[in-house]
Amino acid sequence: MYKTFFKRFIDIVLSFSGIVLLSWLLVLISLAIIIDDPGPVLFKQKRVGKGKKLFKIWKFRSMKMSTPHDVPTHMLKNPEQYITKIGRFLRRTSLDELPQIFNILTGQMSIIGPRPALWNQDDLVAERDKYGANDVRPGLSGWAQINGRDELEIPVKARLDGEYVFKMSLSMDLKCFWGTVVKVLKHDGVVEGGTGVLEKHEVKPVEEKQEVFK
């Protein structure tokens, strides 16, 4: 009953409540982004959702408008130079992820679940297939994120995602939720999009390629 009804019900209630209660914060962050580097407040990025259906994830823009849009970020020379001042703060506190409450409300994501893989992370998607982790809604945070994040190799991350799917319950979701709160408060934010590389980078990896809203 929890997996088929209550989990989605909780997602809707909490995401809607979050949008209402945090509307002031969303506005303040939006203004700070515009003042720091005029341009669109949000960007979207192609991710793998439930059933391996692609969707657009929403985030606050943390990179300068001068960032080359026709070059993948990992191919940029010193990509950190393109991160804005407010963007660095948003990444450190994980507030750049806040717009995903709209993805949760629309049913593309859940509050807790495997972090959605990038559209081109075929190796991670294939590993998750072994555990049925592609058959559930991806989450804002999840079991793998509070048990190693990006220092985890792909097979380990996929196995933890599979463990979450197997043990999915209210108690498991609460454990992931409070574990995420602790990480954020310690500024040990959830990092996505990378595998086995956190020990090489002290800051949040730059997104692959950004598509900003016009």
In tens, the pLDDT along 37-64 reads 999 999 898 999 999 999 999 999 998 9
Task: Write the DSSP assignment of 3-30 as a string of letters.
Answer: IIIIHHHHHHHHHHHHHHHTHHHHHHHH
Element (H, E) at 157: helix 154-167
- For the cut 50, the answer to whether the pLDDT of residue 25 exceeds it is yes
Does the pTM of the predicted model rise above 0.85? no
Q: Measure the CA–CA gap between 138 and 135, rounded to whole angstroms.
A: 9
In tens, the pLDDT along 78-133 reads 778 889 999 999 988 889 999 999 999 999 999 999 999 988 889 999 999 999 99
Most confident of 109-113, 153-157, 183-187: 109-113
* Type of residue found at 89: F
- For the cut 70, the answer to whether the pLDDT of residue 212 exceeds it is no
Comparing 16-30, 146-160, 200-214, the range with the smallest average pLDDT is: 200-214
Element (H, E) at 45: strand 42-48
- Please report which confidence band the pLDDT of residue 207 belongs to, taking 50, 70 and 90 as the band edges: very low
- Please report which confidence band the pLDDT of residue 152 belongs to, taking 50, 70 and 90 as the band edges: confident
DSSP single-letter state for residue 48 = E
Comparing 102-111, 161-170, 194-203, the range with the smallest average pLDDT is: 194-203
